[in-house]
Amino acid sequence: MKKKLQILNKSFNEPISCLTAYSAPIAKILDGIVDIVLIGDSLGTTLYGMKNSQKVTLDMMKYHGLAVNQNIKKSITVIDMPYKTYNTKDEAFKNAKALLKFTKVKLLKLEITEKNLSIIKFLSSKNINVIAHIGVTPQSFKDFKKIKVVGKTNSESKRLIELALNAERLGAKAILLECVTKETAKKISTVCKLPTIGIGASKYCDGQVLVFDDLIKMDSTQHMPKFVKNYLNFNNLAKKAVRKFSKDVKQKKFPSKQFTY
């Protein structure tokens, strides 16, 4: 793990790549190709079809985390603490310990604002590695359509820079920046010694993360933010395959001799 954590060192000489995974087969695809595999609480919306991530439970994170982590041999794994599981230091510690023990993941990601910054120090003092997710923090949104880019004004930019520096001072291992203007992301990435990993936060971050299901367009009905790049239209390919299967069944072409005992 120590060797793996080198990736979270700013002197790591190439940009950090990170994608989400919620299941064993996706973990196997990503392992060793991306530097970090994130078991994100985006599984609530992406996998379970929920409206937001507020109903994601610790148990959901535990089982998906275990499925992923058991199938990762080379990349680093990071897991999200779900909504309202880290309201107080004691609650955060108890739930973090349970989640890390069950999944054997070594790095936690927490959505951090000025209000819960001190949790980083507390968890770090208990040897729990924390990545601070700042900027847009989706757990505070019931309606994702209300999400807007942050860091546009001077005061907002200053606030985010201070938040990142405080997270660093209190022991965070990396900063994840979501939906932050390029100017602010650049400033944070320059002043922080910690690596920054961006999602919708420009090329100035030290690494980039996307939701795997967005990258391959798993669900064509989902609204995609501007920052998502589709590398594959899996939805189209899968529908084509399903149509072909259904047609074959109806025309009694499947199962042919080849698929029969």
The type of residue at 203 is K
Q: Cβ atoms within 10 A of the Cβ of 101, count? A: 10
- Compute the distance between CA of residue 224 and CA of residue 132 in angstroms, rounded to an integer: 24
The type of residue at 27 is A
Q: Is 35 near ligand KIV (CB under 6 A)?
A: no
Q: Is 199 near ligand KIV (CB under 6 A)?
A: yes
Q: Restricting to residues 149-188, which ones interact with ligand KIV according to CB under 6 A? A: 176
Asked whether the beta carbons of 112 and 20 are under 8 A apart, the reply is no
Q: Is 200 near ligand KIV (CB under 6 A)?
A: no
DSSP state of 180: B
User: Contact region for ligand KIV (CB under 6 A) — 34-42, 67-75, 151-159, 165-173?
Assistant: 34-42
Identify whether 255 is preceded by a cis peptide bond (ω within 30 of 0): yes
User: Contact region for ligand KIV (CB under 6 A) — 35-43, 114-122, 157-165, 217-225?
Assistant: 35-43
Please identify which of the residues 14, 91, 178, 183 carries the catalytic annotation: 178
20 vs 157 by CB, closer to ligand KIV: 20
Least distance CB 42 / ligand KIV (angstroms): 3
User: Contact region for ligand KIV (CB under 6 A) — 36-44, 57-65, 99-107, 157-165?
Assistant: 36-44
Q: Is 42 near ligand KIV (CB under 6 A)?
A: yes
User: Contact region for ligand KIV (CB under 6 A) — 23-31, 38-46, 222-230, 236-244?
Assistant: 38-46
Q: Restricting to residues 48-107, which ones interact with ligand KIV according to CB under 6 A? A: 80
Query: x/- binding map, residues 115-144, to ligand KIV, per CB under 6 A?
Result: ------------------x-----------
The type of residue at 177 is L
Instruction: Encode 186-198: b = buried (16+ Cβ within 10 Å), e = exposed.
Output: bbbbeebebbbbb
Asked whether the beta carbons of 80 and 14 are under 8 A apart, the reply is no
Q: Is 196 near ligand KIV (CB under 6 A)?
A: no
| Residue 14 designated active-site | no
Asked whether the beta carbons of 57 and 18 are under 8 A apart, the reply is no
For 212-217, the CB contacts below 8 A with 24+ separation are 212/19, 212/20, 212/21, 212/26, 212/30, 213/20, 213/46, 213/47, 214/46, 215/19
Least distance CB 139 / ligand KIV (angstroms): 9
Q: Is 209 near ligand KIV (CB under 6 A)?
A: yes
**Residues with catalytic roles:** 178
Q: Can you give the binding site for ligand KIV, defined by CB under 6 A?
A: 20, 38, 40-42, 80, 133, 176, 199, 209, 211
